[in-house]
Chains A and B, each alone.
Chain A
Amino acid sequence: MEPSDHLFRREAGRMVATLTRIFGVHNLALAEDVVQDAFCRALEVWKFRGVPENPSAWLMATAKNRALDVLRRERTARTFAPELGRLLESEWTVVPAVQELFGASAIKDDQLRMMFSCCHPRLPEEAQVALVLHILCGLSVSEVAGAFVSAHAAMEKRISRAKKVLAGSKKLFDVADAGDFAARLPAVHRALYLLFSEGYHGASPESAVRADLCREAMRLAALLREHPLASTPATHALSALMCLHAARLPARLDSSGDLRSLFDQDRSQWDAHLIAEGQTLLDLSASGSDLTEYHLEAAIAWVHATAPRAEDTNWAAIVSLYDKLLAMRPSPVVALNRAIAVAQSEGPRRGLEEVRAIAGSDRLATYPFYHAALGEFELRSGQPENARKYFLAASALARNPTERRFLEQRIAACKAATPQQVA
């Protein structure tokens, strides 16, 4: 039997979460060592004997046995999870206690507990996301650095600082406290949103890496939905938005590996199953009185997903959703996306006006698609010479070869176009 893709990575998050629950958050490093040790054992045994029938259970059982070894050996030298009190101290109670802590529902709660703990208010957002990826998704420091196109040393510093804050927080987050839970939930949503966005829009040149990030964000969002306190309208909206965007992933690159904009993607390649799931989740999100940015972004993605062709898109609806989104979360990137929608419904000249009116557009100066949008509007207004300059600026800012190739094709399109007289 072959192990399934990313089996170890997936199990790593579950195992670390459960072991940290047992050892206490201050012993996070010990939990990581035990996981590493279990993986080494699996490697040694499986490479000759093949993968067992239920590899996840095998790994968990190995982690459980190692945990018992550690608890017995270091009982006097260390203190373990204070929440578990004296259960771990006596030989009479330690085995049943650990047995129960490794039960299926406990493991699920442990992952949630870890997710909430990683979104500690003392940590900056990007550190929270890095920590989630490292601890719960089992990515090594260099894999996280690769996903964020950041230097290994910088990422190492960020993650080890974040771990220190986490380990110093004395206790894991208490998922049973409804008040704390509701207060921390928005931060968790935000971290998962950023994780997904990094996969969807990020700079990593490898689309496989980016799709992985999207999948991980969706897996963690699904875990949230299973918990009664976390299964809120905002959680459903966030999940809907992930599904509806992920549905478009297969069409983002064409058969020759070139980037396709939303306007000229082959929509038959969109994942109908994910669109349907997104729709169901969006319906579930429509309860209660809270309208979140996730609701609005999911609704925008839904309008796109249900348009059979780009020209069938209800751009007016999209512009009005962007208006609401801007009122809720003013951001130059959102304003840029709104301007693109305006250009679609009212023409490229209106698009240009809208882009020029964006407050804080200097923050977009290093974003290649800001210049590309201007180029697109100029090109469509019959000004290929102006357009070319914008696309050149965009291509100088391209973050990876795929983006560069896409922008070079736009530059070539400008050369081929004939200028029109401005009336």
Chain B
Amino acid sequence: MSDFLYLYRGGVMGSSPEQIQQTMQKWMAWFKQLSEKGHVTHPGHPLEKGGKVVKGSQKTVTDGPFAESKDIVGGYTLVQARDLDQAVELSKGCPIFEGEGVVEVRPIMQMNM
């Protein structure tokens, strides 16, 4: 088994309370299924939208990141899968796609050489 990181970007969740609740229930169902099959190493955390960006040799600090909302990283999860193909397959159940969001699937580099 190898480790992967899911990075969630963008995705709208609907505007009415009922729609938000339905979005949440879909996420919970997907996540439960992933966990029960032993793929979730760490559920990860949601991230606040804004923060600070520190940049360059001058270590300039600015507010941000002010990326377009569809590109903003909203959270992450650590998963285990046989290989990249399976990690990609598993991500396809994520409800983020219904809101036009993105899941970035990134293999975590193996440290034991």
Q: Which residues of A contact B (CB under 8 A)?
A: 2-3, 6-9, 11-12, 35-36, 39-40, 42-51, 138-140, 142-143
- Structural contact, B16 and A138, CB atoms closer than 8 A: yes
Residue of B nearest to A5 (CB): B21
A44-B75, A45-B46, A48-B46 known; A143-B23 Cβ under 8 A: no
Name the residue among B13, B15, B17, B24 with the largest chain A CB count within 10 angstroms. Answer: B17
A140 to B14, CA, bound (A): 10
- Residues of A near B15 (CB, < 8 A) are 36, 140
- Residues of A near B43 (CB, < 8 A) are 48-49
Q: Give the residues from 41 to 82 in chain B that come closer than 8 angstroms, CB to CB, to chain A.
A: 43-46, 74-75, 77
Query: What's the least CB distance linking B37 to chain A, in Å?
Result: 16
- Residues of A near B23 (CB, < 8 A) are 43
Partner of B31, one of A36, A44, A47: A47
- Structural contact, A43 and B13, CB atoms closer than 8 A: yes
- Structural contact, A8 and B75, CB atoms closer than 8 A: no
- Residues of A near B31 (CB, < 8 A) are 47-48
A142 to B19, CA, bound (A): 11
- Structural contact, A3 and B24, CB atoms closer than 8 A: yes
A42 to B15, CA, bound (A): 14
- Structural contact, A40 and B16, CB atoms closer than 8 A: no
A39 to B23, CA, bound (A): 11
- Residues of A near B75 (CB, < 8 A) are 44, 48
- Structural contact, A46 and B18, CB atoms closer than 8 A: no
Partner of B21, one of A8, A49, A50, A139: A8
Query: What's the least CB distance linking A66 to chain B, in Å?
Result: 13
- Closest 5 pairs (CB-CB, A-B): A140-B16, A44-B46, A47-B27, A8-B17, A8-B21
- Residues of A near B16 (CB, < 8 A) are 9, 138-140, 142-143
A140 to B13, CA, bound (A): 14
A40 to B77, CA, bound (A): 18
- Residues of A near B77 (CB, < 8 A) are 48
A139-B18, A140-B18 known; A40-B24 Cβ under 8 A: no
- Structural contact, A8 and B28, CB atoms closer than 8 A: no
- Structural contact, B21 and A3, CB atoms closer than 8 A: yes
A48-B77, A49-B43 known; A43-B18 Cβ under 8 A: no
Query: What's the least CB distance linking B17 to chain A, in Å?
Result: 4
A139 to B20, CA, bound (A): 12
Query: What's the least CB distance linking A182 to chain B, in Å?
Result: 33
- Residues of B near A8 (CB, < 8 A) are 17-18, 20-21
- Structural contact, A47 and B28, CB atoms closer than 8 A: yes
Query: What's the least CB distance linking A81 to chain B, in Å?
Result: 24
- Residues of A near B17 (CB, < 8 A) are 8-9, 11-12, 35, 39, 138, 140
A9 to B20, CA, bound (A): 9
Is B25 close to A, CB under 8 A?
yes
A140 to B19, CA, bound (A): 9
A3 to B77, CA, bound (A): 22
Please list 16 pairs of residues, one from A and one from B, whose beta carbons are closer than 8 Å in the complex, sorted by A's number.
Answer: A2-B28, A3-B24, A11-B17, A36-B15, A40-B13, A43-B13, A43-B24, A43-B27, A44-B75, A46-B24, A47-B27, A48-B43, A49-B43, A138-B17, A140-B18, A143-B16
